[in-house]
A and B are shown apart, each in its own frame.
Chain A
Amino acid sequence: MEDALLSVKNLSVVFKTTSGTVQAVDDVSFDVKEGEIFALVGESGCGKSTTAMSIMRLVPKNCTITGGQIIFRGKDLVKLKEKEMSSVRGKEIGMIFQNPLDSLNPVYPVGIQVSEAVLLDRVPRDEAWKKVVEIFKDVKIPDPAERVRSYPHELSGGMRQRVMIAMMLSRNPKLLIADEPTTALDVTIQAQILEIIKDLKDTFGTSILVITHDFGIVAELADRVAVMYAGKIVEIGSVLQIFEKPRHPYTQLLMEALPKITKKQGRLKTIPGSVPNLYELPAGCSFHPRCPKSMEICSKIAPQLKKAGEGHFFLCHREG
């Protein structure tokens, strides 16, 4: 078995707000192995983005990592000093976000911004500039020599996301965290960006952690998947295990509640209720009020992860 590049162990993250304390991430554990694409998928408020931001240690001030470890290449990122952490960001772990326009400086040409990342490696300026053009070619930006002079507002959403990928790629990190990388893009552009992300894995051997709410993207991209609900991982396994043999009632219901593009179907199954408010999480299993299979024990005791198959685990009192 390949080694884990990143190993998140029993991570817990808490937000303190004026209306109380919220456990956004609750005892979350998973590994991202060398050269794989791992997806964290879930609905709004499930804790997927907080998990990603905790790995980068980019959480807001009112948010604390209260427990667990984040082991990346032998170091526990939770324990690193801020200065040490900033040498991990970019150089060892790169990140791209949902809206590239928020991540780019509007008053500088994109080539300059990417070259800043290259210059961190102390290369001469003209060499850095050549490298930027090279990387723009790698992420399939047309006319790279021209485009490096464009300002962010002159580029389309898809091109901006390519620039962000180029910037990330210029530092050649071992791990890329992609937080909803295509959510702001149209489907035809999304397909192009997904192809580039797949290429990164194949060409550079980059390991990728994808954060998304879209099960379509997971099916398209991921090798392994963790499904999150109300701060917890409720099911984890290979992409085929999750899509074809889901064991947790939440995953099972979602698979039947999602309209399929491949066929015209009868009425969709629905999941009653809505995503719980993290301030008033139900006791026991957080999913039990919406679960058609819930039993008495579900409202009292939180379930433990159970093994369903090789590398496949689910969080439920039932046998699935």
Chain B
Amino acid sequence: METIVVIDNVKKFFNVTKGLFKKHLYQIRAVDGVSFEIKRGETFGLVGESGSGKTTVARLVMRLTDPTENTIFFKGKDIFKAKGKELKDIRRRMSMVFQDPAASLNPRATILDSIKRPLEIYGYKKSEIKAIVEDTIEKVALGKELLNRYPHQLSGGQQQRASIARALVLKPEFMVLDEPTSALDVSVQAQILNILLEIQERYNLTYLFITHNLSVVRYVSDRIGVMYLGKIVEIAQVDEIYSSPLHPYTAGLLSSAPSLSPRGRSRKKLLLSGDPPSLINPPPGCRLYPRCPYAEKICREEIPELREVKTDHFVACHRAGELDFSGIVRW
């Protein structure tokens, strides 16, 4: 399968400054050396808790922010070196859907204006625009009668369909979905997830799906990357990661997530103690060691590298392979 996105050891640090002369206070290492590839037609799920850097990765992939070090390739091209026509061509092939549909649609533009705007920017003719918009809203099951309304007149689910339609009109190859259902009611969530899966099949779309919801990411993803404090700690196929996680953080995350079965309540859990440490002064060595029940001396001293422990299963843990989570993880 063709690799469509390559994220190559990318880093993004934010400098926190103070006062008129921007006195440098400290640096936040939001994304600290992240590498993974996304193949054509797959959904790569990126999971992590708040502050793990998953949204910063999304913004980097969309070139909404520049990396501090290293780069990202889209279909072989360095997206941060592209200029002019080349950049415009890359931009039309990737699009993004955000968490809060009300905030990502212009409140003063009608739904139609928002959906057709990308087409106007790329110089489509009026007659073409009408046909494309009508075709697109049908694919996302958005009623035609809603086109002349304003965002506040729509429900959350309808707003998110409109955002998906806008992301889809230019027929992109790759979409970044940043928590697309987190702001929606549970009875509406399944509608949106199914629409995303349907349009993916129809247009052979490639997705980077970002979420903190471990049930949603299991439903949509082919492969999953788990982030913790700016680093990827584990990457594997979805069933592999849920049935045999190798990183203690992944195991802790999976066993912490409530399941929909009251009988599963008494399961054995791996509860990670404490809170994630601050990104300003991350612990040396493995970033999980202050919370990890399996930490040894080496974990405090050396940063573990992401290595392939089983075929296509990458883990950044010194003790990967020797730890057994089978009694803890239920699946």
Do A and B pair up? The answer is yes
A residues with a Cβ closer than 8 A to B are: 43-44, 142, 156, 158-159, 186-192, 194-195, 213-217, 219-220, 222, 239-240, 243-244, 250, 253-255, 257-265, 267-272, 274-275, 290
Interfacial residues of chain B within 114-146, with CB under 8 A of chain A in the complex: none
In the complex, whether B271 has a CB less than 8 A from a CB of chain A is yes
* Bound CA–CA A268/B196 (angstroms): 12
B156 touches A188 (CB 8 A): no
Query: Closest 8 CB pairs between A and B?
Result: A216-B258, A191-B256, A186-B49, A259-B219, A257-B190, A43-B185, A220-B258, A274-B155
In the complex, whether B269 has a CB less than 8 A from a CB of chain A is yes
Which of B158, B252, B258 is A219 in contact with, Cβ under 8 Å? B258
B215 touches A261 (CB 8 A): yes
In the complex, whether B280 has a CB less than 8 A from a CB of chain A is no
Instruction: Report A-chain residues with C-beta under 8 Å of the C-beta of B213.
Output: 259
A264 touches B239 (CB 8 A): yes
B331 touches A262 (CB 8 A): yes
B residues with a Cβ closer than 8 A to A are: 49-50, 155-158, 185-191, 193-194, 197, 212-216, 218-219, 238-239, 242, 252-265, 269, 271-276, 330-331
A263 touches B262 (CB 8 A): no
* Bound CA–CA A32/B149 (angstroms): 45
Q: Shortest distance in angstroms between A99's beta carbon and chain B's nearest beta carbon?
A: 14
Instruction: Report A-chain residues with C-beta under 8 Å of the C-beta of B276.
Output: 186
Given contacts A263-B331, A290-B187, 9 further A-B contacts (CB under 8 A): A188-B256, A191-B271, A195-B271, A213-B186, A219-B258, A219-B265, A262-B259, A274-B155, A275-B187
Q: Shortest distance in angstroms between A158's beta carbon and chain B's nearest beta carbon?
A: 6
Which of B155, B215, B331 is A259 in contact with, Cβ under 8 Å? B215
Q: Shortest distance in angstroms between A251's beta carbon and chain B's nearest beta carbon?
A: 11
Instruction: Report B-chain residues with C-beta under 8 Å of the C-beta of A186.
Output: 49-50, 212, 276
Residue of A whose beta carbon sits closest to that of B47: A187
Q: Shortest distance in angstroms between A182's beta carbon and chain B's nearest beta carbon?
A: 9
Instruction: Report A-chain residues with C-beta under 8 Å of the C-beta of B158.
Output: 274
Kindly name the residue among B189, B191, B215, B260 whose own CB sees the greatest number of chain A CB atoms within 10 A: B260
B260 touches A274 (CB 8 A): no
B259 touches A219 (CB 8 A): yes
Specify the main secondary structure of chain B where it touches its partner.
Answer: helix
Known: A216-B257, A216-B258. A257 touches B187 (CB 8 A): yes
* Bound CA–CA A255/B187 (angstroms): 10
Instruction: Report B-chain residues with C-beta under 8 Å of the C-beta of A44.
Output: 185
B253 touches A187 (CB 8 A): yes
B186 touches A261 (CB 8 A): no
Known: A219-B264, A268-B219. A261 touches B257 (CB 8 A): yes
B49 touches A243 (CB 8 A): no
Q: Shortest distance in angstroms between A212's beta carbon and chain B's nearest beta carbon?
A: 10
* Bound CA–CA A261/B275 (angstroms): 23
Instruction: Report A-chain residues with C-beta under 8 Å of the C-beta of B264.
Output: 219, 262
B214 touches A262 (CB 8 A): no
* Bound CA–CA A216/B256 (angstroms): 11
Residue of B whose beta carbon sits closest to that of A256: B190
Instruction: Report A-chain residues with C-beta under 8 Å of the C-beta of B275.
Output: 156, 158-159, 189
29 contacts between A and B (CB under 8 A): A43-B185, A43-B186, A44-B185, A186-B276, A187-B212, A188-B49, A188-B252, A188-B256, A192-B273, A216-B259, A217-B258, A219-B259, A219-B261, A220-B259, A220-B262, A220-B265, A258-B189, A258-B260, A260-B215, A260-B218, A261-B218, A261-B254, A262-B259, A267-B197, A268-B194, A270-B191, A271-B188, A275-B155, A275-B185
Residue of A whose beta carbon sits closest to that of B291: A188
* Bound CA–CA A271/B187 (angstroms): 6
Instruction: Report A-chain residues with C-beta under 8 Å of the C-beta of B254.
Output: 261
Known: A240-B262, A275-B187. A259 touches B194 (CB 8 A): no
* Bound CA–CA A138/B39 (angstroms): 50
Residue of A whose beta carbon sits closest to that of B219: A259
Instruction: Report A-chain residues with C-beta under 8 Å of the C-beta of B186.
Output: 43, 213, 215, 254, 257-258
* Bound CA–CA A192/B214 (angstroms): 17
Residue of A whose beta carbon sits closest to that of B238: A264
Instruction: Report A-chain residues with C-beta under 8 Å of the C-beta of B252.
Output: 188
* Bound CA–CA A191/B255 (angstroms): 9
B258 touches A260 (CB 8 A): no
Known: A159-B275, A264-B239. A259 touches B256 (CB 8 A): no
Instruction: Report A-chain residues with C-beta under 8 Å of the C-beta of B256.
Output: 187-188, 190-191
Kindly name the residue among B185, B254, B264 whose own CB sees the greatest number of chain A CB atoms within 10 A: B185
Instruction: Report A-chain residues with C-beta under 8 Å of the C-beta of B273.
Output: 192
Which of B188, B212, B260 is A255 in contact with, Cβ under 8 Å? B260
Which of B188, B216, B257 is A187 in contact with, Cβ under 8 Å? B257
Residue of A whose beta carbon sits closest to that of B157: A274
